Amino acid sequence: MTVNPEKLLFAKTHEWVGVEPAAGGKVATVGVSAFAVEALTDLVFMQLPQVGQKLKAGEALGEIESVKAVSDLYSPVDGEVIEVNSALPNHLETLSSDPYGAGWLVKIKLTDETALKNLVDYAAYQKMCAEESH
């Protein structure tokens, strides 16, 4: 199911975050913004983390490679990877067709919510992208 991007939070490094309550805390679903996917184009390879990996906000959680260049994907939150979209690396086209749905990357169980304060809302992110594309 595709999430309305206007309800998501965004990192300056172009990952999106959807936070939902779950048993014993909160879980963040993390993906890559449509803006970033379009900018990358011609994707050829993606590496995602293992379930159980502990991440701090700003740490690389994986990488994505296009014909042109390789980019790190960063965790926008502190937590532990509890689920990985393992179908995605073999179907990179899903990232373009459904970046806010089937193109999600990982689900992270939050260990600390402080990092959420560094994320911006949809309107602020759109403004940032508009400036970046100039």
Partner 1 sequence: MTSTLAKTPLHDWHASHGGRLVDFAGWSMPVQYGSIVAEHNATRTAAGLFDVSHMGRLKFSGDGAAAFLDSLVTRRITDMEPGQVRYGLVTNERAGILDDVLVYRIAQTDGTEYYLMVVNASNRAKIIVWINSKLGDHANVRFADITTDTAMIAVQGPLALELVDLRIDCELEEMKYYHASEALVGDQLAIVSRTGYTGEDGCELMIPARIAAETWEGILKDGQQRGAMAAGLGARDTLRLEAAMPLYGHELNDETNPLEAGLNFAVNLDNRTFPGSGVLSAVKRDGVKRTRVGLELTGKRVPREHYGIFAGEQSIGEITSGTFSPTLQKPIAMGYVPPNYAKVGTELSIDLRGAKEPATIVKLPFYKRKS
Which residues lie near partner 1 (CB under 8 A)?
Answer: 41-42, 44-45, 63, 65, 67-70
State the nearest-atom distance from the C-beta of 75 to partner 1, in Å: 18
State the nearest-atom distance from the C-beta of 65 to partner 1, in Å: 6
Nearer to partner 1, 72 or 121 (CB): 72
State the nearest-atom distance from the C-beta of 45 to partner 1, in Å: 4
State the nearest-atom distance from the C-beta of 39 to partner 1, in Å: 8
Nearer to partner 1, 120 or 129 (CB): 129
Nearer to partner 1, 1 or 69 (CB): 69
Which stretches of the chain are DSSP H helices?
Answer: 34-40, 93-97, 122-132
Nearer to partner 1, 4 or 50 (CB): 50
* Long-range CB contacts (within 8 A, 24+) of 36-45: 37/95, 37/96, 37/99, 37/103, 38/96, 40/64, 40/66, 40/68, 40/71, 41/66, 41/67, 41/68, 42/66, 42/67, 42/68, 43/92, 43/93, 43/95, 43/96, 44/92, 45/89, 45/92
